[in-house]
Each structure stands twice: as C-alpha cells, then as structure tokens.
Amino acid sequence: MSAPSVLLRAALLGCRLQLRCSATRKMSSKRQMDHLERTASNSRQSALYPAQVCGIVNESATVKRLRIAVHPEFTFRAGQWVDLFIPGVDTVGGFSMCSSPGLLQREGVVELAVKYSRHPPAHWVHSQCTVGSKVAMRVGGDFFFDPAPSDPAVDLLLVAGGVGINPLYSIMLHAADLLEVVGGDAGGGGRSHNVGAVHLCYSAKSNEELLFKNSIMEACRRFPDNISCNFHVTQQSSEVEPDLRPFLHRGRISEEELRARVDPHRTLCFLCGPPPMIEDVSRRLLDLELPRDRILFEKWW
C-alpha cells in the first residue's frame, strides 16, 4: 500500500475516533472546545485528501505560511477552512486558507498561515513541520465568497483583525482573479463575473503584524478602481516604510470609514477576527442599516 493511502486511512480513522469522542463525552465548562467541536454544526466536505507541504515562509515573526500540494480532486471556496490531520498529533487543526481557488487551479497548491501557539497543530507547524511533511485535509465552512457569473454585482467590505485576515485575504485574491478574467481572459472561453468594489479594513497591533501587506498593496495598485485597503495599527510606536504610509491609519477602524463603504442595497460584509471586534463592528453596521443577512462573520479562537 502506498504512503498516501496509509496516511489517508490513518487520518480517516483518527477523524472517526475524534468525532465519536466529541459526540459522547460530557462537556466541561472549564475545558476549551477543540476545532471539531466548535465547528460541528458547520458544513463539511465528506472527502479527506492526502497532501504534502512543499514550501514554508516566515510571514512574520510569529506566523508561518505553508504551501501545500494537494490531491487533484481537492476543491474549496474562497474563505473556507480545512480540518488538518497531522500524523502523530492527536488534535485535529482548523486553519483558514489564505490562498485563492485560482492558485489551486493554476498550480495545484493551497496556502495556510499559522500563528505560533502551544495548541498542538500550530505548535507542530512551528516546531516540526518541514518541506515534504505529509498531512491530510478536509474542507469545511459556511463563510465564503463564490459568486456565479449570473449573480448581480456586490460591493465587498472585508473587516479583519489580526490573523483573521486569512479567509478575507483569500476572498480578496479571488475577487482579483475574477477581475483579471473580466479584464483580459473572458474572451478566451471563460465566463466573466460582475465584480463590484472591494474594500479591506485590516487592524493589527503594529505594521510588523500586518500579514500579506505587500501583496495587498499590489492588488490595490493593480485594480485601483475596484480594490482598496486601509491598514489600522493600534500600538504602533515606530515609523513605517514610505510604501505603506498611504494605506496606514493609526487607531481602530472608524465609524466614518464604515459609513463610507456601506450601501444597504449593494454591500456584503465579511468579518473575521477576535469576537469582541466582530460584535462591535456588527453592531455598528446594523446601525448603518446594513441588513443582518449581509453581515457574515467567522470568529477565530
């Protein structure tokens, strides 16, 4: 039996055992729920695919970005996450993809950005994972942007806090891919989409903790009529590089910025970050008369 087959069987067995334990043991108020328990009510694909790490980049001092080669049948929607099964690690990880479906189509890879912690899957990424490490992944989540060509255009408001940028970066990249098709390749057999404006509000403690900032700025420069971004830093003490200054704002996301980006009839807002930030921004968006069903959020834990 091949190594991927062994890995897949082991991962499937681990998944069944984990789910069985989650369903039968009594929850303790003092124990933090793990990823499978927190997401038990979310949609999941049934397929679990073997995968292999093919690249590792230090995205920041505390975040590693994994480039992972996946099975040819692996698919996902921008904004979704994966259950990550790691040989030798009992706990199943849950990480949002920070790459676009377009990258998967072009190169057969997906990317995960994982912040350091003592949680076993994240700790494995930072302490043991190497190029060539084998894992298994299953896609899940109801937080995604996947418009059909026939859908009317919407304006996207993406609000991220900390590593909550991951799924929103995936959505922004997907919008950029759709704009690329509209601008150039639609005549080559593809069906163009109605792409509206995309604005990203991204808050972190300092500019060093702003993940993907260079490629975000590049997308804004490449599609100036469609994609824009404001970086917000709340504990910045040092000066920032000149390229970043036009995008950088000190302090939290303001009421004025949200008001300027909300149209109750066109705006679709995706939120991801610390729960208190999500609750605060959601309340302010409702005050701006954005319908509740147009405010989508995913809390990271």
Digit-coded pLDDT (tens) for 125-136: 999 999 999 999
Evaluate whether 110 touches 158 at the Cβ level (below 8 Å).
no
Nearest to 294 by CA among 96, 77, 145: 145
Number of C-beta neighbours around residue 155 at 10 A: 18
The DSSP code for 264 is: T
Residue 24 pLDDT exceeds 80 = no
The most confident of the ranges 2-16, 72-86, 189-203 is 72-86
Residue 256 confidence (pLDDT)? 93
Whether residue 216 is predicted with pLDDT greater than 60 in this model: the reply is yes
Q: What's the pLDDT at 68?
A: 98
pLDDT of residue 183: 60
- How far is the CA of 201 from the CAs of 6, 110, 167, 249, in angstroms? 43, 24, 13, 10
| Cβ–Cβ < 8 Å for 15, 92 | yes
Between 11-20, 71-80, 282-291, the lowest mean confidence (pLDDT) is in 11-20
Mean pLDDT for the stretch of residues 77-94: 97
The pLDDT of residue 248 is above 50: yes
In this structure, are residues 37 and 20 in contact, taking their beta carbons and an 8 Å threshold? no
Other beta carbons within 10 Å of 139: 23
Residue 265: per-residue pLDDT: 94
Q: Could you give the dihedral angle defined by the CA atoms of residues 202, 76, 35 and 20, in that order, rounded to the nearest 10 degrees? A: 170
User: What pLDDT sits at residue 20?
Assistant: 37
- Neighbouring CB atoms inside 10 A of 70's CB total 21
Would you place residue 7 in the very low, low, confident or very high pLDDT band (cuts 50, 70, 90)?
Answer: very low
Using pLDDT thresholds of 50, 70 and 90, give the confidence band for residue 192: low
Q: Are 136 and 7 in contact (CB under 8 A)?
A: yes
What is the band of 189 on the pLDDT scale with cuts at 50, 70, 90?
Answer: very low
**What average pLDDT does this structure show over 208-236?**
95
User: What's residue 269's pLDDT?
Assistant: 98
Query: What is the pLDDT confidence band of residue 238, given thresholds at 50, 70 and 90?
Result: confident
Round to whole Å and give the CA distance between 179 and 181: 5
Determine contact, residues 19/36, Cβ cutoff 8 Å: yes
Q: Is the pLDDT of residue 5 over 80?
A: no
